Amino acid sequence: MNIERLTTLAISDTGFIFDPSTGDTFNTNDSGIKIIQWLKQGKDFNELMDLMIEQYEVTEEELEADLLDFMQTLKNFHML
């Protein structure tokens, strides 16, 4: 997983994301902020699953689907 671009993002506490290399801006929620921070720390997909399961009341199937969807969104925006 290429997190080089992710490490350059400016993310506010409220989930406002600014990509200084493209000028693009995005909004995410608390869960999204946490996932991005963990990705920036080098966590892989399985580690993200474990961390999220600990913190949220969600089934593994639901979490896996949502996490895959979020990571695909990051890829679509060239963040991963």
21 interacts with another protein by CB under 8 A: yes
24 interacts with another protein by CB under 8 A: yes
Residues 6+ apart with CB under 8 A from 36: 6, 9, 11, 17, 28, 74
10 interacts with another protein by CB under 8 A: yes
Task: Please give the residues from 41 up to 70 whose contact with another protein meets the rule CB under 8 A.
Answer: none
When the beta carbons of 24 and 60 are compared against another protein, the nearer one is 24
- # of chain residues touching another protein (CB under 8 A): 8
Of residues 36, 27, 32, the one with CA closest to residue 8: 36
23 interacts with another protein by CB under 8 A: yes
In angstroms, the CA 59 to CA 39 distance is 21
- What are the residues binding another protein (CB under 8 A)? 10, 18, 20-24, 78
